[in-house]
A and B are shown apart, each in its own frame.
Chain A
Amino acid sequence: MKMKAIIGLALTSTLALTACSSGGDDDTTATAGAGAASCAPSSGPVTLSFTSWIPGIEDVVKVWNAKNPNIQVKVQTGPNGNGGTYQNFFNQLKAGNAPDLGQIEYDALPSFRVQDGLTNLAGCKPVSDAKDQFIDWTWNQVSFGEKDAVYGVPQDSGPMALFYRKDLFEKAGIPVPTTWEEYAADAVKVKAAGGYITNFSQSDINQFAGLAWQAGGHWFSNDGSKWTVNFQDEATTKVANYWQDLITKKLVSAVPPWTTEWDSAYNKGQAWTWVSAVWGANSISSGAPDTSGKWAVAPMPQWTAGGKTAGNWGGSSTAVFKGSKHPYEASQFAIWLNTSEEALTLLNEKANLYPATKTGGSLAALSKGVDFYGGQKIYDIFAQAATEVTPDFTWGPTMTSTYATASDGFKAAVSGSGTLGDALKKAQTSTIDNLKSQSIPVAE
Chain B
Amino acid sequence: MTRKKPVTAILFFVLPFGLLFIAFYLAPIGYAIKQSLYKVTRTGTFGPAHEVFGGFEQYQRVFQNGPFWESIGRVLLFGVVQVPVMLGLALLLALLLDSGLVKGRAFFRLAFFVPYAVPGVVAAIMWGFLYSPNLSPFTAVTKTWDLLSADLVLWAMANVVTWVYVGYNMLIIYSALLAIPQEVYEAARLDGAGPVRTAWSIKIPLVMPAIVLTTVFSIIGTLQLLAEPQVFRTFSSAVSSTYTPNLTVYSTSSIPNFNLAAAFSVVLALATCLLSFAFLKVTQRGDDK
Interface residues of A (CB under 8 A from B): 2, 6, 9-22, 25, 30-31, 34, 86-87, 90-91, 94, 110, 113-116, 144, 202, 222, 224-227, 254-256, 258-261, 264-265, 397-398, 400-401, 404-405, 407-408, 411-412, 414-415, 417, 434, 437-441
Residues of A within 8 A of B129 (CB): 260
Q: Are A260 and B135 in contact (CB under 8 A)?
A: yes
With beta carbons under 8 angstroms apart, the residue of B28, B132, B276 that contacts A261 is: B132
Q: Are A439 and B220 in contact (CB under 8 A)?
A: no
Interface size class of B (residues with CB under 8 A): 35 or more
- Extra 18 A-B pairs, beta carbons < 8 Å, given A15-B24, A441-B44: A6-B273, A9-B273, A10-B269, A10-B276, A17-B224, A17-B249, A87-B254, A90-B254, A116-B49, A224-B45, A226-B45, A254-B237, A400-B254, A434-B257, A437-B260, A438-B40, A438-B42, A440-B45
Residues of B within 8 A of A16 (CB): 224
From B77-85, B97-105, B238-246, give the one contacting chain A: B238-246
Residues of B within 8 A of A260 (CB): 129, 132, 135
Cβ < 8 Å to A, chain B residues 21-49: 24-29, 31-32, 35, 39-42, 44-46, 48-49
Check: B111 CB closer than 8 A to any chain A CB: no
Cβ < 8 Å to A, chain B residues 209-246: 216, 220, 223-224, 234-242, 246
Taking the closest CB of chain B, its distance from the CB of A26, in whole angstroms, is 11
Q: Are A256 and B257 in contact (CB under 8 A)?
A: no
Taking the closest CB of chain A, its distance from the CB of B282, in whole angstroms, is 13
Q: Are A434 and B255 in contact (CB under 8 A)?
A: yes
Q: Are B276 and A14 in contact (CB under 8 A)?
A: no
Taking the closest CB of chain A, its distance from the CB of B142, in whole angstroms, is 11
Residues of B within 8 A of A25 (CB): 51
Cβ < 8 Å to A, chain B residues 125-140: 129, 132-135
Check: B180 CB closer than 8 A to any chain A CB: no
Bound state CA distance, A399 and B128, in angstroms? 28
Q: Which of A19, A22, A398, A434 has the most CB of B within 10 A?
A: A22
Bound state CA distance, A254 and B238, in angstroms? 12
Taking the closest CB of chain A, its distance from the CB of B246, in whole angstroms, is 8
For B226, give the chain A residue with the smallest CB separation: A16
With beta carbons under 8 angstroms apart, the residue of B239, B241, B260, B261 that contacts A405 is: B241
Bound state CA distance, A91 and B276, in angstroms? 31
Taking the closest CB of chain A, its distance from the CB of B283, in whole angstroms, is 11
| CB-defined A-B contacts under 8 Å, sample of 17 | A10-B276, A16-B224, A17-B249, A21-B31, A21-B258, A22-B28, A87-B254, A87-B256, A94-B258, A202-B237, A256-B237, A260-B132, A261-B133, A400-B254, A401-B254, A437-B257, A438-B40
Q: Are B255 and A256 in contact (CB under 8 A)?
A: no
Q: Are A19 and B24 in contact (CB under 8 A)?
A: yes
Bound state CA distance, A194 and B107, in angstroms? 50
Taking the closest CB of chain B, its distance from the CB of A66, in whole angstroms, is 36
With beta carbons under 8 angstroms apart, the residue of B24, B42, B134, B258 that contacts A255 is: B134
Residues of B within 8 A of A11 (CB): 25-26, 29
Q: Are A441 and B45 in contact (CB under 8 A)?
A: yes
Q: Are A13 and B224 in contact (CB under 8 A)?
A: yes
Residue interface mask B259-274, A partner, CB < 8 A = 1: 0111001101100110
Bound state CA distance, A126 and B259, in angstroms? 38
With beta carbons under 8 angstroms apart, the residue of A12, A90, A222, A437 that contacts B220 is: A12
For A202, give the chain B residue with the smallest CB separation: B237
Cβ < 8 Å to A, chain B residues 167-210: none
Check: B61 CB closer than 8 A to any chain A CB: yes
Check: B159 CB closer than 8 A to any chain A CB: no
Q: Are B235 and A259 in contact (CB under 8 A)?
A: yes
Bound state CA distance, A255 and B51, in angstroms? 42
With beta carbons under 8 angstroms apart, the residue of A12, A202, A401 that contacts B255 is: A401
Q: Are B44 and A225 in contact (CB under 8 A)?
A: yes
For B245, give the chain A residue with the smallest CB separation: A17
Do A17 and B234 contact each other (CB < 8 Å), given the known contacts A31-B48, A227-B45?
Answer: no
Q: Are A415 and B150 in contact (CB under 8 A)?
A: yes
For B252, give the chain A residue with the smallest CB separation: A401
Bound state CA distance, A444 and B260, in angstroms? 22
Residues of B within 8 A of A13 (CB): 220, 223-224, 269, 272-273, 276
Taking the closest CB of chain B, its distance from the CB of A360, in whole angstroms, is 29
Taking the closest CB of chain A, its distance from the CB of B20, in whole angstroms, is 12
